[in-house]
Amino acid sequence: MSSKIPGNLIIGQSGGATAVINASLVGAVEAAFADQRIGGIYGMLHGIEGLLKEELIDLRQQPVDVWQQLLHTPSAALGSCRYKLHDHDLERTIEILRRYDIRSMLYIGGNDSADTAHCLAEAAEQIGYDLSILSIPKTIDNDLPFTDHCPGYGSAARFIAQATQDSALNTISIPWHYPVKIIETMGRDAGWLTASSALGKRDESDPPHILLLPEQPFIANRFLTQVEEVYKKLGYVIVVAAETIRDDKGQTLGSVGQVGVDAFQHPLLSGTAQYLVDLVKRELKLRARFDKPGDLQRMSSAHISITDRDEAYLVGKMGVHALLDGESDKMVTLIRHDEPTYHCITGLAELDKVANVQRLLPDRYLNQDKTMVTSAFYDYALPLIGGPLIQHTRLEMTRVRQ
């Protein structure tokens, strides 16, 4: 803990925007408004990349009613970026912060954003500039360490779970047309989002039937055997696959459609679902198709989890409180309590232990063959999606006989 003066505050958003990332911005701004120790409140347009261009806005000059509306608005209101700081950027960034007398900073983002915040905190300390900087967690990947879960995940999980049930109904209605459906999810190297597709599953015959997770090597023969078994039993198969699943040699199935890498050298993939569809058609001679929700899984305002939104607001608010307490070079975390009912409080984790570290889906959340979740995963994830999913019904298929 330090004795740094809050001074002027700047806030940025970074990485893949979510349905609730703006709730963290609102929580931070409203907490800053409420404390007279904070002077100016600025927003960087398009994250650290905008700060380097001195593209800032005065958040105190916004209309009064904008904050309540923004609480329910998906995507990054300040604009986002995927920019990795270079060594020569650090001195310029500190120079800009000094010019605007910015002594406090919140950076809302995931693993890479935590790295950016940590680099800036170290650079400021080395230069001797009095700066407090904290990372506010955000990622649908749910892969940040030291926090029970990440704001943004609950809403994306709700979307994927409901979309899987809805999409499967089309397959069920005419199973001989396209009996195999592949639904491709985001999630980078962690299977949390893919696993959430099973949150609407009530019994073994309900979709999804097979989960393909990035933590588990893809074995084509085993996959085809499972597909064939489910098809023979039900007449259709719903598979949910992460976009980054790899074969037993570590090669991503979607590399056939790779379109480069981002600033942090993460591959930009586009091909996993197509690969699986082609494999099923070729080897099993079954018609197959795929759904790729894409950005909808991150942005759907219709599927915002109230729990997720409230927790996103909370981490933004508590980030400001931590800055006022003199904390720096840390990430706000969510600490889970299940008694008497589910709720979270916040804590702090050292950024040097968070930056560029991924928390993968643990084996205890998976069944023996690692293609479906266990009851422990339901216990973990269901409280995060903000209430029950729509439960569809089916007609009783009692045939008329003469």
**Alpha carbons 240 and 234: distance in angstroms, whole number:** 17
- Residue 270 pLDDT class (50, 70, 90 cuts): low
**Which superfamily is assigned to 157-297+360-385 in CATH?**
Phosphofructokinase domain (3.40.50.460)
pLDDT of residue 324: 96
pLDDT of residue 265: 55
Q: Per-residue pLDDT averaged across 21-32, rounded? A: 98
Radius of gyration of the chain (CA): 23
| pLDDT at residue 287 is higher than 70 | yes
Domains 8-151+302-354 and 157-297+360-385 share a fold: yes
Q: How confident is the model at residue 402 (pLDDT cuts 50, 70, 90)?
A: confident
* Among the listed residues 54, 151, 107, 103, the one whose alpha carbon sits nearest the alpha carbon of residue 351: 107
Q: What is the mean pLDDT of residues 16-25?
A: 97
pLDDT of residue 266: 53
Q: Is the pLDDT of residue 117 over 90?
A: yes
Q: Does 349 have pLDDT greater than 70?
A: yes
pLDDT confidence bin for 255, thresholds 50/70/90: low
Q: What CATH number was assigned to the domain covering residues 8-151+302-354? A: 3.40.50.450
Residue 252: pLDDT band (50, 70, 90) is confident
Residue 1, pLDDT > 50, answer no
Burial zone of 61 (CB within 10 Å; 0-12 exposed, 13-18 middle, 19+ buried) = exposed
How does pLDDT run across 45-93, given as a tens digit for each residue?
999 999 999 999 999 999 999 999 999 999 999 999 999 999 999 999 9
From the number of C-beta atoms within 10 Å of its C-beta (0-12, 13-18, 19+), residue 34 rates as exposed
pLDDT at 2 over 50: no
Q: How confident is the model at residue 4 (pLDDT cuts 50, 70, 90)?
A: low
Domain boundaries, the chain: 8-151+302-354, 157-297+360-385
The residues annotated with a catalytic role in the active site are: 141
Which helix or strand (DSSP H or E) is residue 288 part of? strand 288-291
Strands (E), 300-396: 330-337, 343-350
User: Do 78 and 59 meet the contact criterion of CB atoms below 8 Å apart?
Assistant: no
